[in-house]
Every structure is written in structure tokens, then in C-alpha cells.
Structure 1
């Protein structure tokens, strides 16, 4: 059975194969036991087997075990990074940075960690960066999970850490109060499987010093400006000297990216001007909530036209209920 799963490349075919099996509970436990072998992966081949097992468990369900996704990303130097994350974005099991060699990839000693998991039968404690591995070069592509586990679909984040001082409390509240409540109280299991993440990237104006400043000027949405139009239009509003002195950048309030059905992700950019940071904290909460809710409603209206198997109305109802409590 396990060998057959590793041989099936097409995700739809894998789903059909798994769902045709009887005794799903027994199958789940066998696959999970197999996953535990490869959660402590030592090379690219073992990582790829862990990915396929995570894809399989995402299809039939993880049962009483904590669901995780097997993700391949990129370290800041461009090298591949691989890890397992639960629905809260917490890392479990082996978290590795890889090095490129002439004849393939190997995990890096000194850049590999082991993160505690409640499902680890050995209950190994976390070891950061210094988890022991040996060079094992394989000329194999590192895979990344192609489906996903149910998790809070609305992810609010910052593009960079800079902001005006008066917004720090509000932004911290988003990170420490609103986001945990969304993770805890949203009900992704019943909305559907079509949406993985709606990522809202908030860009705040800031002035750190004369050589590190960005003040967004929000364009009139009726103009429907594109990227190439921003600076030319800004020059009709301010002189070059004023633009340089104040760090002005013309932007639309909202930037909506395309929906990718293969990843279930879509991105929204939300740009906030200096005047936003001059509001009281309660006013900032209200205004930020207004912008986020507008963006989500606009986006879901567009996505509904795609006839996706997803309960957008229920998702928005849950989100709005949590947001209303936060902004009060």
C-alpha cells in the first residue's frame, strides 16, 4: 500500500485511490506510523516520502493526530528550506536548511533543527540549529505539499516591521489578540477545501530617519492607476523635492492578486497612510477593521463567480463576529 502511494504522482489519482480503500481508520494509522519514520528525514528522498504521506493524510484525515503540512520554502540566501507546520504555523519535527552541491542537495549541519511534536512517540525536545545530521547528497528535487490541511483562511500580516510609533499598539494587538482568536475560532473544516489562505499584507507608512521613510499617498480609486502610473501621477501632486523629502509613494488602497487554485492562496495588499497612524488607537482599530472587511467582501464576491466549493458566507460571518469583538 505505502509503495503504491509513493508511486502515484498525480494528486487527483492519489485522492481517488485512497478514497477507494476500505478500513480508512486502519489505513490512517498505517500511514501515520509511516510518516513518523520520515518526519525525522535525513535526505531529499526521505523528505519527499514525508511530503507524499502528508498529502495522503490530508486527503483521508489525520484522525486524532495533529495535522501538519510538509512545506518547502526558501532561506534568505536562496537555499531551500523544508519543515512541517501545524494549522497555527507552529513548526514540528525536523526543520532543515539545505545546501546545493555539484551533484545535488544535502541538509546543512548547524542549520537543521528539531521541533517538539506532541505526536512524537519519543517526545524528543526541541533542538535549534544544532540537530545532528550527516551529509547525504542526492540529486532529487525537493517536493512541497500540493494540498493543505484546514486552517484559519484569513491571514493578516505586515510586509515590513516599520511603522509610526502611535500604530505599534494596534499592530501588536492584531498579532497577539486578533490573529490568535481567528486561529482558534474560525471553522475551516466546514467552509470547504477550495481556499487555503487569504493573505492580507498590511503596509504601514513610517519615518525612522531621513534616509529610511515611506509615506503612502492613497490614489483616488476612480483613476484605476497601474504600477507604471504612480510616479507620474505623484508628480502632478507634489514637486520632486517634496516627494524626496517626505518619502512619498503613491499607491492604491487595495491591491488584489490572482487566485491560484493549485495553492488555494490569494493575496490582498492594504496600504495605510501617515494620517492613519495619527488617529487614536480605537479609531485605528475601527478603520483597519473597515478596510479589511471591505477587502474580504470585495474578494469573496469575485471568488463566488468561480463557483468554488466553499461557503464564503459562513466564513465571512465567523470572521466578522471575531473582528467585531476585537475592534470594540
Structure 2
């Protein structure tokens, strides 16, 4: 088992694991080891849990729930570590870390434990008050470099702010469409290279005279860059109008590059005030059109570059999107 922690290359780790004579016995040995470190207490424990998740992603989790070990960033900039299943549900320990002079330690009062059907101790979920002892340790907090099969399309919003008339459709995207995608997409059939296509929807809003953002959508043929937005906006409105109305010029779609190290592609869709003036069904239909557009553009851009079945992924997505629109 010690060799698992010594092999740095994922390719070498894969070759080592797949050469095992008894893969089922190895899988159970890896899983038993994972259970020891799922209740991690320090940097070393977490990094071992990450390596075990990488190994299990290669050899398979068998009858156990597949989990992905994620090193993220909390809102205050501190590291956060947690395990997610394919539905983005948290399992086992979820910790916020504090930086000390000599390393990192888990924060008391900001560490949770989430119940798991694989937990042999059958512990319940404990929020924030999960016991933590300060254990400062040097080193970097790792994040899993391969990933479990899961719905590749994640639709989120930037800020919580929006016009009230868009709240129902936002709730429907988050609670109906996203849930359907998580439950019914078939990621095992598409390929392994794409991890997530994260689509962020940025909505216009007006909270009060001092807190407002009304997006103006740029002509796509102009191919404007961020530095061009304000000068172009000044050709459309006076500075007084821009200030009074909270205008910001943006491209409708921003599609980032494919990140091979994370398997992620980040997309932003910007919605103007006029979008929120539409009725509920019109907003849903417009969003559906935008979702299809960005995914079709990604598929066209990556065609021939990735071993990924975009056609099947799009077919599944369109089927679920059409059902959402009914």
C-alpha cells in the first residue's frame, strides 16, 4: 500500500493498479484505507485520502459510492477540502483550513461531517461543531487530478441578485433542470476527458439606486475584449446615463479554454434587464436557447481534439432540456 503514496504520475499509478492480479482484493484494500483517511485530521491525512480517491477512480469503486476529493477555496480565501459524490452531495469530513507560520490546520467551528452509507460507524451529519484539534503541518493541500463520472453540465449563477421576475426561472434551473441533469445524464458513455462544463448565468438586477447592474449586450460581430467595453458603452450612452442606470457592456457569451489539468471549461452567459421583463415561459425558452448555443460552440471547438462523445452528450442534454420546457 505504501507504493500508492509514492507514485506521483497518474499514468504510472494507472499502470501499477491495472497490473494487479486480483483487482477486487486491491479495490477493497484501497477502500478500507480510504475510510481511515476520510476522517482526516491534518494535511498528510488529506493528501493520502486524495491519492486513494485517485486510485479508486482508476480501478473502480466497486459497490461503494464513488467520491471525488476536492480542494477548493472558501469565500474568505482559505482552503476548503471535501468529498463529493456524482450529485455534488458532500460525504465525510468537509474542512476549512487556516494558515499558520509553519503550515495549515483545520479550523474548529468550520469543520463538518456528512453522513455516508459507506461509513462503518454509521455517524450522523454534524455541522460546524465536528471536533477538531489544532494540528499544524507543512505542505500543500492536494486536489484530485482525475475525476469520477458525473453529469458534465453544471449551471450556476454569479451573484444572488436578480430582478424578482427572474427568481422563478432561476429556481427552476437550480431545482428542476440541474437535478434532472444530475440524475439522468449518462457520463459513463461520453468519455473521461471532460470533467465539468460550468455555465455561470449573470443576471441584471436593481436592488436600490446604489446597488444595480443592468447589462447591455455587445454586438457579437465586434468581438470586443474587456478593455473595449466601457469606451464602446460611452458611444451608446452618456456617462450620466451609465451611472444612473448601472449599465455594463458585456458579451452575451464568454467561453473559456479547456483545462486539461482539471477537465473543466468555464462559460458565462450574461442576461440583460429586458430578459427579466419577459414572462416565465419566455425566459425559460431563451435560457434553453443560450444553453444549447454554448454547448454547441464548445462541441465544435473541441471536435477532433478530445476523445469525447459530444453528440451523445448533446442528445441527452437536449432531451432533458425539452422535458424541462414542457
TM range (shorter): over 0.9
Offset at 1:247?
0.4
Q: TM-score, normalised by structure 1?
A: 0.98
Take 1:271 and 1:22, find their aligned partners in 2: how far apart are those partners?
Answer: 53
Root mean square deviation of aligned Cα: 0.8
Residue 259 of structure 2 corresponds to residue 253 of structure 1: no
Partner of 1:72: 71
Residue 186 of structure 2 corresponds to residue 195 of structure 1: no
Aligned pairs (5 A) from 1:266-277:
266-277=265-276
Partner of 2:16: 17
Take 2:174 and 2:2, find their aligned partners in 1: how far apart are those partners?
Answer: 43
Partner of 1:296: 295
Take 1:100 and 1:166, find their aligned partners in 2: how far apart are those partners?
Answer: 43
State the SS of the aligned residue for 1:119. coil
Which residues of structure 1 form unaligned runs of 5+?
Answer: none
Deviations 1:5-27 (A, max 9, x none): 01101111111111111211111
Partner of 1:112: 111
Take 1:298 and 1:142, find their aligned partners in 2: how far apart are those partners?
Answer: 35
Partner of 1:324: 322
State the SS of the aligned residue for 1:109. strand
Offset at 1:327?
1.4
Partner of 2:234: 235
Residue 158 of structure 2 corresponds to residue 178 of structure 1: no
Offset at 1:157?
0.5
Aligned pairs (5 A) from 1:79-94:
79-94=78-93
Offset at 1:235?
0.5
Offset at 1:76?
2.1
Count of paired positions: 326
Aligned pairs (5 A) from 1:100-249:
100-249=99-248
State the SS of the aligned residue for 1:214. strand
Take 1:135 and 1:235, find their aligned partners in 2: how far apart are those partners?
Answer: 54
State the SS of the aligned residue for 2:129. coil
State the SS of the aligned residue for 1:266. strand
Take 1:80 and 1:204, find their aligned partners in 2: how far apart are those partners?
Answer: 28
Partner of 1:284: 283
Offset at 1:77?
2.2
Take 2:60 and 2:22, find their aligned partners in 1: how far apart are those partners?
Answer: 13
Offset at 1:73?
1.1
Runs of 4+ with deviation above 3 angstroms: none
Offset at 1:78?
1.9
Which residues of structure 2 form unaligned runs of 5+?
Answer: none
Deviations 1:225-252 (A, max 9, x none): 1111110000000000000000001111
Offset at 1:305?
3.4
Take 2:204 and 2:136, find their aligned partners in 1: how far apart are those partners?
Answer: 45
State the SS of the aligned residue for 1:318. helix
Deviations 1:297-318 (A, max 9, x none): 0111101131x11111000000
Take 1:217 and 1:278, find their aligned partners in 2: how far apart are those partners?
Answer: 14
Offset at 1:64?
0.9
